[in-house]
Chains A and B, each alone.
Chain A
Amino acid sequence: DGGITQSPKYLFRKEGQNVTLSCEQNLNHDAMYWYRQDPGQGLRLIYYSQIVNDFQKGDIAEGYSVSREKKESFPLTVTSAQKNPTAFYLCASSIPGGVETQYFGPGTRLLVL
């Protein structure tokens, strides 16, 4: 079955630690996105990538980094510079072109110890 997988489902971060969230898709989509969801708020765009080896900052990129070495994979690293990382993180993918529907993964819940 085609879809988007995210791992782990829950992730705990210690102070000063970098952690990496995985996002993999087998939909053959070129475009991939990372969103952050805080309680009582909608999703906010962190980073996006329209094609392999290229990515762009979204609205809240500070404290995060990404890579896009393979079409199927778009990992997100939450660095120690992100002072309030506790949130639910959602990955999405779509056919590129800007207006195509985005399909979402099941999400990763990040908590700070």
Chain B
Amino acid sequence: AQTVTQSQPEMSVQEAETVTLSCTYDTSENNYYLFWYKQPPSRQMILVIRQEAYKQQNATENRFSVNFQKAAKSFSLKISDSQLGDTAMYFCAFMMDSSNTGKLIFGQGTTLQVKP
């Protein structure tokens, strides 16, 4: 069975600095998709970034980028120039390509506090 592990329950960063959130996963599949979702205090889940496992190039969305290491089964999220609005809980999620169900498997989440 696939599992997703986020080993950092809580992190903090000063405004304008860079922070990296860790995520590891376990799967025997070769084709899959990885996601980072953000859940601010409003509790609305918002997609931050998505990575296809068959792509070697790391995904980037403005200040958010990932470091995808397929062999190590690692998928970390880097937030550059942190802003107060980045304060949220961040979830790493995994989806098998072969499932056809759209089932997402989530990690436990990392609470990020951006300090002024």
On A, residues with C-beta under 8 Å from B are: 31, 33, 40-45, 48, 50, 56, 58, 88, 90, 92, 94, 96-107
* Further contacts, 7 of them, CB under 8 A, given A42-B91, A105-B44: A33-B104, A41-B109, A97-B100, A99-B95, A100-B102, A101-B47, A107-B44
Secondary structure class of chain B's binding surface, majority of residues: loop
Nearest 7 CB-CB pairings of A with B: A42-B106, A104-B45, A98-B100, A43-B106, A107-B43, A106-B44, A98-B102
User: Which chain B residue has the least Cβ–Cβ distance from A107?
Assistant: B43
B16 to chain A, nearest CB (A): 29
Contact with A along B21-49 (1 / 0, CB 8 A): 00000000000010101000011111100
Give the number of chain B interface residues (Cβ < 8 Å): 28
Q: Is B62 an interface residue (CB 8 A)?
A: no
A42-B108, A94-B102 given; A99·B44 CB < 8 A: no
Contact status A106-B42, CB under 8 Å: yes
A40-B108, A43-B91 given; A98·B99 CB < 8 A: yes
Q: Is B77 an interface residue (CB 8 A)?
A: no
A43-B106, A106-B44 given; A101·B35 CB < 8 A: yes
Q: List 6 A-B contacts (CB under 8 A).
A: A45-B103, A50-B101, A98-B97, A99-B33, A102-B47, A104-B37
- Docked complex Cα distance between A113 and B59 (Å): 45
User: Which chain B residue has the least Cβ–Cβ distance from A92?
Assistant: B45
List A contacts of B103 (CB < 8 A).
45, 48, 58
- Docked complex Cα distance between A11 and B95 (Å): 30
User: Which chain B residue has the least Cβ–Cβ distance from A90?
Assistant: B45
- Docked complex Cα distance between A88 and B44 (Å): 11
A42-B4, A107-B44 given; A98·B108 CB < 8 A: no
Contact with A along B82-116 (1 / 0, CB 8 A): 00000000010101111111111011110000000
